[in-house]
Amino acid sequence: MSGNTESTSRHSGLTRRGFLGTTAVVSAAATFTALSSTRVLGANERIGVGVIGTGGRGNSHLSVVRKIQDEANVDVVAVCDVYRPRAQKAAEKYKVSQIYMDHHELLGDPKVDVVSIATPDHIHGYQALDAIAAGKDIYCEKPVTHWRQFKLTKRLAREVANSDRVFQLGTQGMSDDAWALMRQLVRDGLIGQPIHAECGYFRVGD
Ligand SMILES: NC(=O)c1ccc[n+]([C@@H]2O[C@H](COP(=O)([O-])OP(=O)(O)OC[C@H]3O[C@@H](n4cnc5c(N)ncnc54)[C@H](O)[C@@H]3O)[C@@H](O)[C@H]2O)c1
């Protein structure tokens, strides 16, 4: 989802430059890299990243930002988790000085430009709406919301569209430019005229 043409051009600027070797980190790396390349920054300024949720995925995001911080001119400035020991552990490991236990406080931090949301599924939508309202760009773990929250998903899509913020969903496989290349090859006649397509979605759970 993107807010306007500026956001769209930011998306189209998602190059492979941030590629770090594994599918799991490509999308986040590309997003943070792209965000940093579209900002007008002073010589000593960096894009400030705030990570909300410091469990499995949050730690992965922290690791990505640390790896690309010089190339992408980004820095993790704050972490947030409702479970303090986990936030503290992540802050120590990735040398982050600011810890919050309430995401509203992190969103109120002027050093935070972009947030990564790595909390449980049913919280993503609300935290993303709060982030938009606070003027932050967002990298959000998949799924965008819990599957029962379809209205919330639509509301988020509307609010992102009406904002000038970037929202990138962390469905890494779909960020792979192999799909765009394949679409082009099919359009160019690779398999002749397509007459039938099948796709499936398989996941254990409700
Ligand atoms: N992209 C992928 O390949 C991939 C893989 C696994 C999980 N996920 C998704 O990533 C998200 C996180 O998964 P995980 O495995 O890291 O979970 P996790 O349980 O390891 O981490 C979630 C963290 O969020 C914290 N949290 C809960 N409520 C919070 C709140 N209101 N504010 C701040 N922190 C809060 C928890 O204390 C926990 O530390 C889920 O939505 C999951 O579906 C994506």
Query: What CATH number has the domain bearing residue 33?
Result: 3.40.50.720
| Per-residue model confidence (pLDDT) at position 88 | 98
Specify which of 13-22, 99-108, 145-154 reaches the highest per-range mean pLDDT. Answer: 99-108
| Per-residue model confidence (pLDDT) at position 17 | 32
| Residues framing ligand 1 (Cβ under 6 A) | 52-58, 80-83, 86, 103, 118-121, 123, 141-142, 170, 172
Query: Pick from 104, 111, 153: which is nearest to 133 by CA?
Result: 104
In the block, which residue shows the tokens 């904002």?
Answer: 163
Strands (E) located in 45-87: 47-52, 74-80
> Is the preceding peptide bond at 110 cis, omega within 30 degrees of 0?
no
Decide if 187 is inside a domain. no
Q: Phi and psi for 140 in degrees, rounded to 5?
A: -115, 135
Taking only the tens place, the pLDDT of each residue in 32-70 is: 666 655 555 655 689 999 999 999 999 999 999 999 999
If you measure from the C-alpha of residue 143 to the centroid of ligand 1, how many angstroms do you get, rounded to a whole number? 11
More confidently predicted of 162 and 20: 162
Place 9 in a pLDDT band, splitting at 50, 70 and 90. Answer: very low
| Per-residue model confidence (pLDDT) at position 163 | 97
14: left (phi over 0), alpha (psi -120 to 50) or beta: beta
Closest atom of ligand 1 to CA, residue 83: 37
Q: Is the pLDDT of residue 16 over 80?
A: no
Decide if 181 is inside a domain. no
Decide if 17 is inside a domain. yes
If you measure from the C-alpha of residue 148 to the centroid of ligand 1, how many angstroms do you get, rounded to a whole number? 17
More confidently predicted of 5 and 183: 183
Decide if 162 is inside a domain. yes
| Edge-to-edge order in the sheet of strand 137-141 | 98-100, 74-80, 47-52, 114-117, 137-141, 167-170
Decide if 201 is inside a domain. no
Contact 171, 27 (CB under 8 A): yes
If you measure from the C-alpha of residue 40 to the centroid of ligand 1, how many angstroms do you get, rounded to a whole number? 32
Give the mean pLDDT of 168-185: 88
Residues in the chain: 206
Query: Pick from 108, 120, 111: which is nearest to 54 by CA?
Result: 120
Q: How far apart are CA 123 and CA 66, in angstroms?
A: 25
| Per-residue model confidence (pLDDT) at position 114 | 97
Q: How far apart are CA 48 and CA 53, in angstroms?
A: 16
**Nearest CA, atom 39, ligand 1:** 55
Decide if 134 is inside a domain. yes
Decide if 206 is inside a domain. no
- For 85, 90, 183, 186, 194, the CA distances from 189, given in Å and listed in that order, are 56, 50, 10, 5, 9
- As a whole-number percent, the residues of the chain with pLDDT over 90 amount to 69
In the block, which residue shows the tokens 């090859």?
Answer: 185
| Per-residue model confidence (pLDDT) at position 119 | 98
In the block, which residue shows the tokens 């410091």?
Answer: 54
Q: Is the pLDDT of residue 21 over 60?
A: no
Taking only the tens place, the pLDDT of each residue in 132-144 is: 999 999 999 999 9
**Structural domain tally of the chain?**
1
Decide if 124 is inside a domain. yes
Mutate to test the pocket of ligand 1, among 31, 81, 93, 103 (most ligand atoms within 8 A of CB): 81
Domain residues for the domain of 139 are 5-175
Give the mean pLDDT of 120-136: 97
